[in-house]
Chain A
Amino acid sequence: MEQVRYITEWFGRYDGQNIDDYIKLGGFETVRQLADRGIEATVAIIAESGLQGRGGAAYPTGIKLTQAREAIGERKFVVCNADEGEPGTFKDRELLKQNIYQVIEGMIVAGICSDAKEGIIYIREEYTWQHEAINDAIRQCRDRKVLGENVLGTGYAFDIRLFSGAGAYVCGEGFALCESLEGKPGRPRTKPPFVKQAGYLRLPTLVINTETLSAIASILRKGADSFKAYGTEISTGTKVISISGKVNKPGVYEIPFGLTISEIIDGFGGGMKDGSKGYFVQIGGASGGLLPVGMWNTRYTYEGLEAVGLSVGSGAIVVADETNDLRDYLKVIGEFFLHESCGKCTPCREGNRQLHFVLNNLAAGTADAADLKRYDSIMNVMKGGSLCGSGKTEVVPFLTARKYFPEAFRLEEAN
């Protein structure tokens, strides 16, 4: 199956680093157009495209930009969320590596549209190897007056700096990210007020995913209709996905919404590894749901996945075959959240600790009926009582496992 080249259109068209090559391709034209078109008309195009936030929350980007504009503060910020921490996700890595200028173009547009003059690329510490290239790209932008006091002669001011996280999953959450930007441990705050009103330094902060920013530039370049030509009525456009696990061709692919899971694995992932038999996929990261092979005819859309209790999430698709044990896999997920829980709220901190014991028993084959009862009750408490999205959504893999994989929860006779 052919990849779509919409957001990733310019991948491979230049080395990803030389700004002049990017400009020759037509780069930064949308910033100039913005000056002529006006902010309202620009945001209207994004709204019309139906683009939803690609970090996982799927918030309509048009509304997000409008709300960012309405927020009041003496300074305002745009943060490119490149904290890509959902296990199994590596698409932002490629968007940054192969076309950093398009991310920057999207940030400038988002900055002007929301009246923010300061941009921050918040990159995960695990991508330290990319820092030099990104800082170099920012320097080239300043040299060409793409960033600075008078962006491309439009009269708008906007500049960007790079900021590295330090290895905390929860910093992908808006407030935790802001806390770490302020030099504090990354722990979410209670809301309201929201990040958009009082984020970094308690000032209005637009936190927006790397892929969403790239998509903004592509959509403005090509028009809302060209984006809507892909996907379904609700899930418009394309998605950059990361396929990994037991497939022949793991990697980053841009696909239209609407394919089935099987079509994605066969058409892009190169089929199951060495012809092995599929068992399950996890979709959307560690906090994403699990889907058994019998349900791989599910369509990869926001609505199709929602109907079976899953979501698109970060765009990660981890594929497992029959040699993999779901109980071991659940233990891996559990250990991840046990380690990454920030510890601020009790449901997530203690829920993960107790869940850890149950998952160990399940994997060891020593679980009893009381363990399963505890499992279900922990899920209820975490889902309903956790402070932030991390605690609330991490139940998804465990709930979908319980629902679709009864074999993993069958108790040994002796217990």
Chain B
Amino acid sequence: MEGVVQNLVAEACAKHGNDSSALLPVLLELQERSGKHYVSREIAEEVARALEVTPGQVFEVVTYFAALSDKPRGKYLIQICESTACSVVGYNALLDWFKEELGLEVGQTDADGLFTLATTHCIGACDVAPAVRINNEVFGNLTREKVRELISERRAG
């Protein structure tokens, strides 16, 4: 098991240029590869060793940046934009639809580890507000029907 983590980290570090400046890209890539949108403690400690920075620096970076997480999240990370433009065109209704369809509150992950419901600041999709980001895809001009579809497509896998 330890060897797997080491190889994974070594590979990411080699790709982004084995020094402390590579910390952010390395963590983003390892988080992406975790399948659960997070950086585990053992990954974080291995990254610290590999890039010769303190574990403290790695944990500080992971907890400072909004895109990184030290706690596992669902396979699909649903982030609803709650910024200025989305707020004037009805982000509240969108959030309610997702809450009801998923049966989750903001910050919660479902029992299957499939969905995490979260809010986010501006994702630069204000022209199609209210907007939502699911993993790396952005969806806009949403209706309740469209929200149902987005969820059921992913449930079906």
Contacts and interface: CB of A to CB of B under 8 A. Distances in A.
Contacts of A185: 60-61, 64-65
A183 B28 CA distance: 12
B13 to A, nearest CB: 12
Interface stretch (B4-12, B18-26, B93-101): B18-26
Q: Of B82, B124, B138, which is in contact with the most chain A CB atoms at under 10 Å from its CB?
A: B124
Contacts of A165: 24, 65, 67
Nearest to B27: A166
Contacts of A204: none
Interface string A64-90: 000000000000000000001111111
Interface stretch (B84-92, B108-116, B146-154): B84-92
A124 interface: yes
Contacts of A85: 121-122
Contact of B133 (A126, A333, A336): A126
Interface in B51-68: 51, 53, 57, 60-61, 64-68
A382 interface: no
A93 interface: yes
A250 B12 CA distance: 40
A35 B28 CA distance: 39
Nearest to A162: B25
Given A127-B124, A166-B66, A329 B21 contact: no
Question: Chain A at the B interface: mostly helix, strand, loop or mixed?
Answer: mixed
A164 B121 contact: no
B104 interface: no
Interface residues of A, number: 54
A339 B83 CA distance: 12
Interface in A307-362: 316, 318-321, 324, 328-329, 332-333, 335-336, 339-340, 342
Given A164-B25, A320-B88, A182 B20 contact: yes
A168 B124 contact: no
A252 B123 CA distance: 15
Contact of B83 (A125, A184, A252, A336): A336
B83 A87 contact: yes
Given A251-B127, A282-B84, A336 B121 contact: yes
Given A90-B124, A129-B136, A166-B68, 16 more contacts: A87-B126, A124-B124, A125-B28, A164-B25, A167-B68, A182-B20, A185-B61, A186-B65, A243-B127, A250-B128, A282-B84, A286-B84, A329-B87, A336-B121, A339-B66, A340-B121
